[in-house]
Chain A
Amino acid sequence: MPKLKEFIADFGWPRIIIFFFLISLFIAAPFVGVRLDASISDVLNRFGQYAILVLALVPMVQAGCGLNFGMALGIVAGLLGSTLSLQFGMKGMFGFLGAIVLATPFSLIFGFMYGKLLNKVKGEEMTIAMYVGFSFVMLMCIMWLILPYNNPTMVWGYAGKGLRTTISVENYWNKVLNDFLAIRIGRFFVFPTGLLLFVAAAAGGMWMFLRSKTGTAMTAVGSNPDYARASGISVDKMRTISVVLSTFLGAVGIIVYEQSFGFIQLYSAPSPMVFPAIAALLIGGASVNKATMVNVVVGTFLFQGLLTMTPSVINSILQTDMSEVIRIIVSNGMILYALTRKTKVTK
């Protein structure tokens, strides 16, 4: 019994409640006329979409920079990369990879500057990160209107200048990863092998990085900055590396999201993408200065599972759309739960 108690204490009550809630949704689905195979395929697809965005949070958490409320910077870098790849008319897998390559320089520059800023303001980083993120997104809204894009699929019809709010990647690199080696069973179930392989590769790469020399140093900075300093590690350098890595992965994450979702969402779309990713990581069991690959996978699966199942199942049970309310309460409740834990954020 003590082993279970220790597991519960470690896993945390809220996570257990969410886990059983999700399981009950899956069980209730068939009784309420919701196709189970379609739901599972939908959950897998959304898992693939969000996994890398959640993974992007890991480096900064490990390095003790706390939860990256400013991930919008990485997402904006990804948007720049994908819009440029469309502008140059790059298609198929080449287009998708081109978008990532084009996004890389932006994400590195943004990440570097953002890292330097965060090092200057240790303590109360989260609020500052959030508002730097928001103001940067707004600045980009102006940029989307000014930058000289002229690919007709992207530009406003009447003005001929400035980008549309949502741009379809239909004939460029839509579902490039999803359909790669996809396995279809029956009409509804699609197993997005390409997408999940890409996510597995990214997660594997991150796992390998965290076990490399710099990765180990970064984890040490996260768990005890004084220890790292006494062992000759430059704390600020490690934190900057983690921010740059996090911003880069944010860019890759949004591009993977777009190819699976089918649309590039511009203007103020990046801001509301950050909170769900943070909530997912926390539901997976991460703390404010420790996050593992398991946290990413479990967290994303639980959170996205919840988001896909609640609209269909709850609606048919209660005939009302409670899913929006449940999503808000669960995701913000989780972040609140993590913030009020005893672990102190790096001072």
Chain B
Amino acid sequence: MSAQKKLGRFISEYAVVIIFTVITVACIKPSGLSLTYIIQEIITRLGRNSFLVLSLLLPIFAGMGLNFGMTLGAMAGQIGLIFAVDWGIAGWQGLVFAVLVGLPVSLLLGWVCGAVMNKAKGREMVTGYILAFFINGIYQFVVLYMMGSVIPLRSAAITLSRGYGVRNTLNLESVRQSLDTLLMLKIGPFMVPGAAFIVIALLCVFIVWFKKTKLGQDMRAVGQDMAVADAAGIPVERTRIVAILISTVLACIGQIIFLQNMGNLATYNAHDQTGFFAVAAILVGGASVTKANIPNVFVGVILLHAMFIVSPLAGQRLFGSAMIGEYFRQFIGYGVIALSLVLYAWRSRKAIDNARAGLRQGAAGSSGASGAVDANNKGAAK
């Protein structure tokens, strides 16, 4: 392919990453924040968010698109944290306890999400989104009405004064930053949460190792072409459910890491935005609905959060109101998801048209020699 075409493909491939880098760099100057502050902030956010964004990788491999249903995992994590705080277990032990309690809940929710998505093939993403709200209703019912009445709550500090139901915001003082401070390293001017990065590194190793297993291979096969995988005898439905299961479990652990860094838990809407942030991050990192890898995750988290740090203050300076910066950030966040989805859908349609077009030239007025039979292969790259 000519260099010009290759450049064109590169630009269309990474349009989102390029736009984002330009906007972020442009905002750094007017935001007036020092570079070291920004870098320090990005390091903490990398430690806080990467685990959540990594949990999106497996469903993408299995061809189920962006798993908006990961919010279910976040809810499971929050239930684990509620029990850890209620039983007064502090420090990193509290986190491990929260994960152990949240795990079975996320397994159940993950299985439900996978089964529902199997019934809505082709529309997994929007079904995941709606399922997240549906389960949010049930989560609210459990946490707001069942806890304290049916499920015993020990400490009055987190129960609503009416006797049952958990308060709107929980103070996670007992487990606050306990993962980060476990191995806080001082490198130059920056404080790096060593333990958090170790956990993230472990997850990356697991993902790389997982792609080498038979289950990983089956997932990739199902993601590429469900019909062929099924004909080869791969249990397609079960493989897809396992992909969602693992993603939900990782989201549960990721949410716990996220909340221990934040220090407080907005019981009823902390999970609303987890899906949005994680999806925006991985798309900003250059991933698409069917193709994603680990670098996409880290590039995405760095770029998205850098933009989220600088834009409100840049908005303050340029437009004279932080609100504009704030809304600008929302617009960019939603805009990037819409843009990359549109680009992906447009590019996949163009790929099909190109395949057809390639064939057409061959057919038009080819000379008598029957040898020049061109293939009308249906295996055009989807």
Residue numbers of A with Cβ under 8 A of B are 69, 117, 120-124, 126-128, 130-132, 134-135, 138-139, 141-142, 145-146, 159, 162, 267-268, 275, 320, 322, 324-326, 328-329, 332-333, 335-336, 339-340, 344-345, 347
Contacts and interface: CB of A to CB of B under 8 A. Distances in A.
A124 B66 CA distance: 12
B140 A324 contact: yes
B321 interface: yes
Contacts of B369: none
6 contacts: A123-B345, A132-B342, A138-B330, A325-B137, A339-B123, A345-B123
Contact of B140 (A121, A325, A335): A325
B257 interface: no
Nearest to A144: B327
Contact of A336 (B116, B122, B331, B341): B116
A124 B127 contact: no
B119 A69 contact: no
Contacts of B324: 142, 145-146
Contact of A117 (B65, B328, B342): B342
Given A131-B337, A145-B323, A146-B319, A121 B125 contact: no
B137 A328 contact: yes
Interface stretch (B102-110, B128-136, B166-174): B128-136
A200 to B, nearest CB: 31
A103 B132 CA distance: 34
Contact of A131 (B134, B327, B338, B346): B338
B126 A339 contact: yes
A182 B101 CA distance: 58
Contacts, number: 127
Nearest to A143: B327
A328 B349 contact: no
B327 A141 contact: yes
B74 interface: no
Given A127-B341, A141-B330, A336 B127 contact: yes
Interface in B328-378: 328, 330-331, 333-335, 337-338, 341-342, 345-346, 349
Nearest to B149: A320
A146 B145 CA distance: 44
A345 B338 contact: no
A120 B8 CA distance: 20
A126 to B, nearest CB: 4
Given A325-B141, A340-B116, A138 B327 contact: yes
B35 interface: no
A162 B289 CA distance: 38
A124 B345 contact: yes
Contacts of B231: none
A131 B127 contact: no
Contacts of A340: 116, 119-120, 127
A145 B130 CA distance: 31
A282 B174 CA distance: 46
Given A329-B134, A340-B116, A120 B338 contact: no
A326 B141 CA distance: 9
A102 to B, nearest CB: 24
Given A138-B327, A141-B330, A142-B324, A339 B120 contact: yes
B335 A120 contact: no
A332 B133 contact: yes
A132 B119 contact: no
Contacts of A326: 137
B256 interface: no
B144 interface: yes
Contact of B334 (A138, A142, A146): A138
Contacts of B337: 131, 135
Contacts of B323: 141, 145, 162
Contacts of A121: 341-342, 345-346, 349
Contacts of A134: 334, 338
Contacts of B342: 117, 120-121, 128, 132
B349 to A, nearest CB: 7
A255 to B, nearest CB: 23
A130 B319 contact: no
Nearest to B329: A138
A276 to B, nearest CB: 12
Given A121-B342, A128-B338, A329 B130 contact: no
The 4 closest A-B pairs by CB, nearest first: A328-B137, A135-B334, A121-B345, A329-B137
Contacts of B335: 131, 135, 138-139
Nearest to A69: B126
Given A124-B126, A141-B327, A332-B133, 6 more contacts: A122-B349, A126-B126, A128-B345, A135-B331, A145-B324, A340-B116
Nearest to B335: A135
B138 interface: yes
A120 B328 contact: no
